A = this chain, B = another copy of it.
Amino acid sequence: MREVYVIGVGMTPFGKFPDRPYYDLGKEAVVKAVKDANVDKREIQAGYVGNVKAGMAPGQKVFKTLGMTGMQIVNVENACSSGQTALNLAYTAIASGQYDMVMAVGCENLTGGRTSGEALAPDQDDIEGILGNVMPAIYGMRAKKYMEVYGATPEDLALVAVKNHKHSSLNPYAQFRNLVTVEEVLASRMVAEPFTLLQCCPIADGAAAAVVCSKEKMQQLGAKGVKINASILVSGLFKNQSSDLTVPEITQRASRLAYEMSGIGPEDINMVECHDAFTIAEFLYYETLGFCRKGEAASFIRSGAAELGGKHVFSVRGGLLCMGHPLGATGVAQTVEAVWQLRGQAGDRQIQGAKTAMIHITGGGVAGMDNAACGVHIFTV
A interface residue numbers (CB < 8 A to B): 1, 21, 52, 54-61, 63-64, 69-79, 85, 88-89, 92-93, 95-98, 113, 123-126, 233-239, 253, 363-364, 366-367, 372-373
Contact = CB atoms under 8 A, between A and B. Distances in A.
A56 B134 CA distance: 14
A1 B372 CA distance: 30
Contacts of A97: 1, 96
Given A75-B77, A92-B93, A96-B97, A235 B56 contact: no
Contacts of A92: 92-93, 96, 98
Given A1-B97, A92-B96, A373-B73, A236 B60 contact: yes
B1 A125 contact: no
A72 B235 contact: yes
A255 to B, nearest CB: 14
Contact of A96 (B96, B233, B364): B96
A54 B53 CA distance: 11
3 nearest interchain CB pairs? A96-B96, A55-B123, A57-B372
A372 B60 contact: yes
Given A69-B237, A74-B78, A113-B124, 5 more contacts: A57-B363, A57-B366, A60-B364, A72-B88, A72-B233
Given A74-B76, A235-B63, A235-B70, A56 B364 contact: yes
A235 B45 CA distance: 11
Given A60-B373, A89-B74, A69 B366 contact: no
